[in-house]
A and B are shown apart, each in its own frame.
Chain A
Amino acid sequence: MIPISWYLILAAALFSIGLFGVLARKNAVAILLGIELMLNAVNINLVTFWRYLEPAKVTGQVFAIIVFAVAAAEVSVGLALIISIYRRRDTVVANDIDLLKW
């Protein structure tokens, strides 16, 4: 059997990679990709804790489903915003989107 530590370390590594993507990428779409990686890491943790600690209850899976819904909502609105900005300002570089910067 696999000890819980393997899953948790994998999720932590995935979360860190996602964090790096969010912090370091220029492209706004890529930042959203990084957020997806982080959400996936969280979901791995939720399902892992459900399986290892309380498999008789459904709490972990319900949380994961709510995370799915939030991820879908976040991506649809985020990408709509990015496309809208691209149409007006002709850029998807996060540094150039500085309408509120003065």
Chain B
Amino acid sequence: MEFWKDPITTMFDSLLASFTSGGMSESLATVLIWLIGILAFVSFAMILDIFLVWVERKVVARFQDRLGPNRVGPFGIFQPFADIVKLLIKEDITPIGADVVLFNLAPIFSLMSVLLLWAILPFAPKMVGVDLNVAMLYLVAAGSIGTLSVIMAGWSSNNKYALMGAFRTVAQMVSYEIPMVAALLIVTVLAGTMGAVGIVDAQEAVPFIFLSPLAFLIFLISAIAELGRSPFDLNEAESEIVAGFHTEYTGMKFGLFYAGELLHSFTFGGFIALLFFGGHRFFGLENLGPIVGAIIFMFKALFFYWVIMWVKYTVPRIRIDHMLAFNWKFLTPLAFILLMVTALIGRLLLGSSWLAPVLFLSNILIAWLTIEYLKSHAQKERAQEEASTQSVAPVTQH
């Protein structure tokens, strides 16, 4: 029954015993087992990625009232394998004038920035790659590696559209990092720690979604923007700049970008589950064992992956000036106000049983005030617009 309670340590110990019995030194065996563990974990992520391709295609088909892939295997479940074969046998093109090293490095960095995040995802107690005490900063740092890969790809392709796509993406990712960091700080204030395991433990009584629903919304919006998915898919706006920063990529190099994007969405689904929905907890079901907890966590991550897809295939793309104005004039101030209010209430009602309801009510109040302010602001703007169009109307004669 040891395996059921703590699978990782049990596997590690048995492997270590079998390695050292052959006369290997213990430190070398430990390093080797770590490498095997990383390889297994990454392979698991990539196999999951293949499955995600199928999920994505099937779900988008249902949203658009189609059937989706249904030829290869039952429910088309082997379609991604056919896709991979197609990507592998395509010609691998490097455009003339491209910077070969950076051009080939960019897809690797793109996927790396996602796989790095998996190191800190706590699937269940004792099933976590590494329990960093600065996990939230690590999340942002891995995101900046993703930004780097985009600008690498855009610049090295020697293509106008790729460079434009890269510029747009970098502007978007750098801007939306700020409300995201503020939302992460709210979670940090509520949990009292930056470590992922500590944050999950702090949600034992109440998940943070009930303490700060607005922070959840801010995190969701900025996560979608970080991912570059619709309505924030200006980086690969097909109708404007071909395919953005990965215009010139073919075959498996494009496949790495695509796989990276899907896995990134899933990973952010996992982070939403861990930051706001209690990680592996589900009404006491997690007490059955870490493996059940990990499965619950995967299902939560898949659910929020589905939410991100739902937004993607429902909302149309927004214009670039709207995107920047939405961030700087709305999301960032809101996130910082919320952070200050949360910190103040958390300090004033430290340890009191009123903390949770007061925090929830303050969030509702802030949301209501924001909506009222937006309403009056929009009315004013509309009145101005009407006044200006009326004065212009006799001249243009439409």
- Asked if A and B touch directly (CB within 8 angstroms), the answer is no
Interface residues, chain A, with chain B CB atoms under 8 Å away: none
Interface residues, chain B, with chain A CB atoms under 8 Å away: none
